[in-house]
Structure 1
Amino acid sequence: MLHVLPKPLIGIISFLMYLLNTLFWAGPILLLAMLKLPPIRLWQVAITYLLDTCASAWISLNNFTTSLFSKIHWDIKGLDKLSVKDWYLVVANHQSWVDILVLQKVMNRQIPFLKFFLKKELIYVPVIGLCWWALDFPFMKRYNAAFLKKYPQLKGKDIETTRKACEKFRYKPVSVMNFLEGTRFTPEKQQQQQSPFRHLLKPKAGGISFVLNAMGEHLHKLLDVTIYYPKGAPSFWDFISGKVHDIKVRVRVLPIEQHLIGDYEDPHFRERFQHWVNQLWLDKDRQLSALQQGEV
């Protein structure tokens, strides 16, 4: 009923509720993180379950705020084979920051709490950076080719650092999220890239290969998520203001096969891996076309 309020008022109230919810859960999350410090594995695993429970509750309350002020028709398919007891790598097309809210809404309590690979510098973001650390979001430091040429002794160090950061995921199911395009889709970026896809930017195969090389032994399945907004990609303000009325999500569960794990610096492996990623993106592009035409 509250969705009939003026849109600017809905946006302000929703933003305040999101903010208060985040600040509320930051307290217990950081407290539990402190309790987790003693290096006792069973104790740390138990605290990790409590931390993820807090994070899921945070997402649930955000979803409640959305349902309170927005009248969205959610068309979601492909959740029937998911489990909170499995390990997943999640990939999706990227059009808006709203994609993250959509993924959290769709996947909350369907799979283990979503974790994003983050740049090391993001740990310094006030409050939320510490929460990401407390929730075991893996912070990674990538070295580009020019840097490695100057300091060849650091080759493979980024992989090893990330692998160590992900060691804790051996003892509790996890879902790791990666946007293969690396940035949000816009027609301008599509033209600049000369992307061969109608609805997508070119996927960056190196990023997902990095994740699989660091965590492949711990990840069991790939979730290929396609997000479609019939009225066009909304802004965060559009979403919290109740201006979004229709969202379609399709989920495919794919195996992570052994041949997908290897050294991306090896030209033969890189060629095979890029072919696999491009085929994944071709399938997604076709699905987006079908969604646009109302066929799936």
Structure 2
Amino acid sequence: MTSKWIAWLRIGSGMLLLAVNSVVHILPLLVVALVKMTVRIGVVRRGCDRILMAIAADWIAVNSRMIDVLTDTRITVEGLPAPDSGGQMLVVCNHQSWVDIPVLQKLFNRRLPLLRFFLKSQLIWVPLLGLAWWALDFPFMKRYTRAQIERRPELAGADIAATRRACRKFRDLPVAIVNFVEGTRFTPAKHAAQNSPYRHLLKPRAGGVAFTLDAMGEALDTLIDVTIAYPEGRPSLADLFANRIDTIRVHVRRLPIPEPLRSGDYQKDPEFRRHIQDWVNQLWAEKDLALDRMQPTRPTD
């Protein structure tokens, strides 16, 4: 019974500290974002961008330090790339848990440009965090169901156009765009429903990769391929703060993006679509083999 109370105390303390740290950093973030939005002078806006990135990096660094202090979780990493804060890169990763996000941020904060994730449009309404993501130019995506498109055919392709608009602003900036290529977190039920050919992974969705490459033109030339494994099973954020995760294993590869794949029409060019799909499927096959070594048992609920 005592251990349960200790776990809940850890979880509550961790969440409270995260909330306090978020408020402390989001408020100045919003002030700078408002200055950037209202002042149209280029040098001022560029200065605001630098300040925003510095605040975000400090926010992430404090979160990471809190996790270090509050937990005994060890993150072992193979292949961590050399620092490159000025590059333009696509980061792809398997997705098992919400813990994936603080792991990625801890590993790459101030090593790569600020990681930006594609977010569902509804998340802009999350108190404070939604405004922070907006201020940091996280791309918000509105997805339409097949039924909605059938009722309003003009919506077909709107999500793709939104991806292009969201990414276009990054063409001349250092950026690391994160794509969870499976499109959702792994669960055994999803794995079975897909009849996935991979032991540890869901089927990859190559379209998101293709649209990001298309939207960025030829600016993206580097792929950061990240594989995250939880040898003790898929954890929750509560497990992290309750100190129930012993080890997290991460494998990182820095790869060139093949030049022929950096421009093309995924929707209208079947040959280009096949090349993108073959490339992503090969990455996923290699990732599955890596997980055989890093996480011998299949993830469970």
- Shared topology, TM-score over 0.5? yes
Tell me the CA shift for residue 215 of structure 1.
1.5
**Partner deviation per Cα, 1:245-296 (whole Å, 9 max, x = no partner):** 11111110111223223212122222221111111100000000022359xx
Q: 1:44 to 1:156 in 2, by over 3 A?
A: farther
User: Does the CA contact (< 8 Å) of 1:117 and 1:140 recur in 2?
Assistant: yes
SS at match of 1:219: coil
Correspondence 1:44-193 to 2 at 5 A = 44-142=45-143, 157-193=158-194
The amino acid across from 1:139 in the alignment is F
Alignment of 1:31 onto 2:34: no
Partner residue in 2 for 1:219: 220
Partner residue in 2 for 1:281: 284
- 1:28 and 1:183 map into 2 onto residues whose CA distance is 32
The amino acid across from 1:272 in the alignment is H
- 1:35 and 1:180 map into 2 onto residues whose CA distance is 35
Partner residue in 1 for 2:7: 7
RMSD across aligned positions (CA): 2.1
User: Does the CA contact (< 8 Å) of 2:95 and 2:180 recur in 1?
Assistant: yes
The amino acid across from 1:14 in the alignment is G
Percent identity over paired residues: 47
Partner residue in 2 for 1:241: 242
SS at match of 1:166: helix
Partner residue in 2 for 1:207: 208
Farther off after superposition, 63-72 or 73-82: 73-82
Partner residue in 2 for 1:263: 265
The amino acid across from 2:267 in the alignment is E
Farther off after superposition, 201-210 or 73-82: 73-82
SS at match of 1:169: coil
User: Does the CA contact (< 8 Å) of 1:180 and 1:207 recur in 2?
Assistant: yes
User: Does the CA contact (< 8 Å) of 1:36 and 1:44 recur in 2?
Assistant: yes
Q: 1:119 to 1:55 in 2, by over 3 A?
A: same
The amino acid across from 2:18 in the alignment is Y
Tell me the CA shift for residue 158 of structure 1.
4.2
Unmatched tracts of structure 1, length 5 or more: none
- 2:82 and 2:74 map into 1 onto residues whose CA distance is 22
User: Does the CA contact (< 8 Å) of 1:96 and 1:235 recur in 2?
Assistant: yes
User: Does the CA contact (< 8 Å) of 2:167 and 2:212 recur in 1?
Assistant: no
**Partner deviation per Cα, 1:87-119 (whole Å, 9 max, x = no partner):** 111110010000011111111111011001122
The amino acid across from 2:8 in the alignment is P
Q: Compute the TM-score of the two structures, normalised by the length of structure 2.
A: 0.89
Tell me the CA shift for residue 45 of structure 1.
2.0
Tell me the CA shift for residue 25 of structure 1.
0.9
The amino acid across from 2:123 in the alignment is L
Q: 1:145 to 1:7 in 2, by over 3 A?
A: closer
The amino acid across from 1:22 in the alignment is S
Tell me the CA shift for residue 152 of structure 1.
5.8
Unmatched tracts of structure 2, length 5 or more: none
**Partner deviation per Cα, 1:38-78 (whole Å, 9 max, x = no partner):** 22333222211111111111111111111111112221122
- 1:241 and 1:254 map into 2 onto residues whose CA distance is 36
- 2:61 and 2:241 map into 1 onto residues whose CA distance is 15
- 2:296 and 2:234 map into 1 onto residues whose CA distance is 16
Tell me the CA shift for residue 167 of structure 1.
3.4
- 1:148 and 1:26 map into 2 onto residues whose CA distance is 36
Q: Compute the TM-score of the two structures, normalised by the length of structure 1.
A: 0.91
SS at match of 2:204: coil
